[in-house]
Every structure is written in C-alpha cells, then in structure tokens.
Amino acid sequence: MEGNDFQSTQVFKIKEGDTEKVFPLYNLDTYRDGKLEHDPTPIEIKQNVSANCLSVKDRLQQSQEIHQEEIAIVGYGPTLKETWPSLKNYQTIISTSGAHKFLLDRDIVPTYHVDIDYRERKAVHLIESHSDVVYLLCSTVHPKMVSNVGSNRLKLWHSDFKGLTYPEGELCLPGYWDVGQQAILVASSLGYQNQHLFGFDYSFEVGTDKTHAGFHNAPERVKVVAKVGDKYFPTSDDMVRGVLTFIKLMEDNPNLTLIIHSDGLLSNYLKYHFSK
C-alpha cells in the first residue's frame, strides 16, 4: 500500500500469485463533506419530464402527518442478499431500482417503489410491475418505465435540476446522488422519519466484486479501494462520491433517524467519523 490522499495518484497493491494488481486508493480517514453539484442537465431529462408530465395525472403530495412507524427503504447493494429476510418485519417498504424484482421474487411486495433514472435501459427493472405497489417515480425517468407500470397506480414528483422548472405547487425535492438517497426524501415526504436502510452498501461484494444483489444491466464500474480506519473496501469512484454526498443529505435533514442494515463502506465510514 502506498499513499493516503483521496482523489490522488496513490494506489493500493494486491498480489495474486505472480501478478500484482494496482488500484487507486481513496483514503477516507480524513473527513470530507459531501458537496452536491449537478453536471449540466442532459437533454434527455428535459424530454422525459415533458413527456411524463403530460401522460401521468397524479402527483405525490407532501404529507402533513408524521408517522411513528418505521419504514424500510431497500437499495440494491450486495448485502441485500443477506439482510432481506428482516424485511418481513416491516409493514411499509420502499424498493428502489432492481430491489423491486428482487423482493417480488421472494414474495415480499413493496408498499412503494421509487425510481429516478432517465436512461431507457433502467426500465428493465419494472417490466414486471405489481398491482399492489404504488409507484412513486421522479418525472425524470424514461417514459418506457412509466408505460411498464401504467398510470393508474403511479404518482410523479420532481427533482431539482438546473434549467428545469415545474408547475407551481407540485412536489420538487432536492437532488442528491442516487435513487436510494432520493428515496429517503420521498419517505420523508410521506411522513416517515424513522427509516431503516437495506442494501445501502456503496461498495462491492468482497471476493466477487459484484456491485448489486442481482441482475443489473449497467456498464462495469472501474474498481478502486477505499480505506476507512483499518478496513479496505473495493468500490468505485461514483460510490465514494455517493458516500460523501450522503453526509450532505444527513446534514440537510437532521429530523430523520437513519439506521443502516449493512456492513459496507457507507456504514463503516459513518461509524468511523461519527462514533463519538
């Protein structure tokens, strides 16, 4: 191992037989605030918003009631393969991304499903929709995802992107790093402040380098290694940035109680920096 500065030229070396593999090393022992910055908004997002707002009538409304009940928000990280049985203990569940099919395949029907991705390939996760699930989709999703669900059990909400404006009075939530973080805000909008997070790993599965609990048709991520205390996590640049943005989300929403059911990079980063 050499070096210790995040976003530097330092590397982590692993010797496998006669071969030495070298990966970028991100040392997260030094606290770094997550900073929220959007790239220029892709034109596809503007097109999706326009089409979806025309085709879908219902909108998600901000709840005026605060629920004491705990809610489970399910990401699609590898540890979901271990923790999913615990979801049977929750009355209210929000799935995201591929966790939708993962749960249905195990006879767990989410109460809600949240998605935000504007790319057409992500619509594959909702090919098999369920009549008992309420789909709370961001207006940015690809219209094919909307058609897979059907508008009779679908409500739209909006995300704050540069250059986009929405009808007055419609719910627009701040944009964070990924669908899991946006689902936290959706749950809060529904009145749930006690949130349990499953599959929120932000790291690869040790030994296999799998990035998700099951099928996920995304391009392969470039592997890096993140150091937290005396632990090292195989991960990717965008996952590390997701961890840092998660800090921003926490600071912006101090009313929320977030319990992470995972031993991945995110939970270890938070334990290391906030245990005191």
Predicted local distance difference test score (pLDDT) of residue 140:
94
CA dihedral of residues 168, 174, 175, 177 (deg, nearest 10): -160
Asked whether residue 26 is domain-assigned, the answer is no
What total number of domains does the chain contain? Answer: 1
Q: Considering the domain boundaries, does residue 120 fall inside one? A: yes
What is this structure's pTM? 0.89
Q: Is the pLDDT at 20 greater than 80, yes or no?
A: no
- Residue 117 falls within a domain, yes or no? yes
Q: Are strands 223-228 and 19-27 parallel, antiparallel or unpaired?
A: parallel
Contacts of 190 (CB under 8 A, 6+ apart): 63, 67, 71, 112
The 8-class DSSP code of residue 40 comes to P
Domain assignment present for residue 241? The answer is no
pLDDT given at position 39: 63
Residue 168 lies in a domain: yes
Is there a domain that residue 86 lies in? yes
pLDDT confidence band for 28 (50 / 70 / 90): confident
Structural domain includes residue 112: yes
Q: 209-249: per-residue pLDDT in tens? A: 787 767 776 667 778 899 999 999 999 988 998 998 998 89
Determine the Cα–Cα distance for residues 81 and 92; give it in Å rounded to an integer: 19
Give the pair of three-digit tokens for residue 216.
């996920």
Confidence of residue 3 (pLDDT cuts 50, 70, 90): very low
**Reduced to 3 states, what is the DSSP secondary structure of residue 247?**
helix
The residue range of the domain holding 77 is 38-218+253-267
Could you tell me if residue 18 is inside a domain? no
